[in-house]
Chain A
Amino acid sequence: MSKDPQPSDKYGVQKDMEAIAALERDAELMLRVREGDDTSFALLLDRHRAPVVHFLYRMVQNDAVSEELAQEVFLRVYRSRATYEPTAKFTTWLFRIATHLALNWIRDGKREKGQESLSADVLDGVERQVPDKQLTVEQELVYEVKLKEVREAIGMLPEKQRAAVMMHKYEELEYSQIAKALNCSESAVKSLLFRAYETLRARLAHMA
């Protein structure tokens, strides 16, 4: 479990207020970008660069491609600054652009072109991902096997289910935000997530 399943109410309210303040700040920064303030764009980039790159990395499972797509996301944000209206949360808009680009890339079959060698990429990724340098060789091998299985299980999910899981599990977006990013209803998102987790539970049951 990445989070405490029973957050105290006080902690929850404080967290919600911080989240609301952050969302308002994003919209405010984007409105300043619209007025021509490039410093605000730099602040937005610093706040959202890592989540967008990580989301895209998990979607396309390729380091170089994920950065290239993330660059395209921010370029499109900057390009459409003049027409920006804060009708939805900034993160929802951002992830909608990212999801659209990722799904297009997957559908275009660029996966085969961009991924020269899956095994090389996995090893490269693992080398950069291992957080604890104190792992023994055996622990590292176990970690690599586990990671490979997780990546393969997620990679086998249908595109929309994969995107929904990435946004729900790793980016912690709300159902309504995921629905807007995927251009579907909230109930459809819940259904996508339930089916995806059910499939993953079955595929990764042996890891328990």
Chain B
Amino acid sequence: MDCLKNANSGAEILLDYCSGALDSARAAELERHIENCAECSRVVDAQRQLWSALDTWKTPVVSADFNARLYARIVEEKQAPRWRQWIRRITQPALPYALWKPAALATACAVMAVGFLVDVPRLTHPPAKGTTQVETQHVDIEQVANALEELDLLMPASPAPANPM
């Protein structure tokens, strides 16, 4: 067996050994290792002493009227109006609700609603260096027609096509 400090599960082996949860084969293996390893022997001794120190903490006897008080509360709760029973079930659940789940869903819905409903103004960015900017201008259709006519006047008159006939 490797040293407890080198083994990946060294901490777990130590805890299991001192709490008696390690199977007999592995416990025997650890004990053989401890005999030859001063460092592991020191750690195991320290953990054993801690275990023994923690055992000194005894607990008080439960009050004799514990059950009676509990049953009185249960009866009181059963006799309460239905709406109050429901409120208690919601506000004092056995285990806390996983609030992050509805919160994440609500946030996602809110983001989608903003995306669909709100007209976000488009930002114009300055052109990057080295790129040509194509500017689009609003051009009146009459101006274009006039320009083409003027162009026509400037062009030399083309000869009439020969009659193939």
A interface residue numbers (CB < 8 A to B): 1-9, 12, 42, 45, 49-50, 53-54, 57-58, 63, 67, 70-71, 74-80, 93, 96-97, 100, 125, 128-131, 143, 146-147, 150-151, 154, 168-170, 172, 190, 193-194, 197, 200-201, 204-205, 207-208
The minimal Cβ–Cβ distance linking B91 to chain A, given in whole angstroms, is 11
User: A190–B8 Cα gap in the complex (Å)?
Assistant: 12
Closest A residue by C-beta to B54: A169
Verify if B6 is at the interface (C-beta below 8 Å from A): no
B interface residue numbers (CB < 8 A to A): 11-12, 15, 17-20, 22-24, 27-28, 46-63, 66-67, 69-70, 73-74, 77, 88-89, 92-96
In contact, B93 and A80 (Cβ under 8 angstroms): yes
User: A194–B70 Cα gap in the complex (Å)?
Assistant: 37
The minimal Cβ–Cβ distance linking A120 to chain B, given in whole angstroms, is 14
- Of the residues B24, B46, B54, B93, contact of A7 by C-beta under 8 Å: B24
- Of the residues A5, A78, A143, contact of B22 by C-beta under 8 Å: A5
In contact, A75 and B73 (Cβ under 8 angstroms): yes
Closest B residue by C-beta to A150: B57
Provide the residues of chain B in CB contact with A4, threshold 8 Å: 20
In contact, B52 and A1 (Cβ under 8 angstroms): yes
- Beyond the given A2-B20, A146-B53, please list 8 additional residue pairs across the A-B interface where CB-CB is below 8 A: A1-B18, A1-B20, A50-B62, A67-B62, A150-B56, A150-B57, A197-B47, A204-B50
User: A97–B51 Cα gap in the complex (Å)?
Assistant: 26
Provide the residues of chain B in CB contact with A63, threshold 8 Å: 60
Contacts A5-B27, A49-B62 hold; do A100 and B56 have CB atoms under 8 A apart? no
Closest B residue by C-beta to A11: B24
Provide the residues of chain B in CB contact with A129, threshold 8 Å: 57-60
In contact, B57 and A147 (Cβ under 8 angstroms): yes
Q: List 20 A-B contacts (CB under 8 A).
A: A3-B20, A6-B20, A8-B24, A45-B67, A49-B62, A53-B66, A67-B66, A78-B74, A79-B94, A80-B89, A96-B95, A128-B61, A129-B59, A146-B53, A154-B57, A169-B51, A190-B12, A194-B11, A194-B15, A204-B50
> What's the dominant secondary structure at chain A's contact region?
helix
Closest B residue by C-beta to A82: B89
Closest B residue by C-beta to A127: B60
In contact, A5 and B20 (Cβ under 8 angstroms): yes
Provide the residues of chain A in CB contact with B93, threshold 8 Å: 76, 80
Closest B residue by C-beta to A169: B54
In contact, B62 and A53 (Cβ under 8 angstroms): yes
User: A9–B52 Cα gap in the complex (Å)?
Assistant: 24
User: A165–B52 Cα gap in the complex (Å)?
Assistant: 14
User: A197–B66 Cα gap in the complex (Å)?
Assistant: 33
In contact, B55 and A2 (Cβ under 8 angstroms): yes
User: A100–B98 Cα gap in the complex (Å)?
Assistant: 13
In contact, B54 and A75 (Cβ under 8 angstroms): no
- Of the residues B48, B74, B77, B94, contact of A1 by C-beta under 8 Å: B48
The minimal Cβ–Cβ distance linking A21 to chain B, given in whole angstroms, is 19
Provide the residues of chain A in CB contact with B51, threshold 8 Å: 1-2, 169
